[in-house]
Amino acid sequence: MAATNALGRRWAAHRSQLTLDVELSVQALKDLGVNLALDDFGTGYSSLSHLKRFPIDTLKIDQSFVRDLATDADDASIVSAVISMGESLHIRVVAEGVETREQLTFLQEHSCPEGQGYYFSRPVVPGNLRDCWGATRRKPTARKGSLTSRLLLTPQS
Q: How many angstroms separate the CA atoms of 134 and 124, rounded?
A: 13
Q: What angle do CA 92, 21, 60 make, to 5 degrees?
A: 20
- pTM recorded for the entire structure: 0.70
Instruction: Report pLDDT digits (tens) over 118-138.
Output: 998 888 888 887 777 665 444
The per-residue pLDDT for 104 is 94
Q: How many angstroms separate the CA atoms of 52 and 49, rounded?
A: 5
The per-residue pLDDT for 53 is 83
pLDDT along the chain (157 residues), means of 10: 46 48 82 87 80 88 94 96 95 95 95 91 80 57 47 44
The per-residue pLDDT for 147 is 57
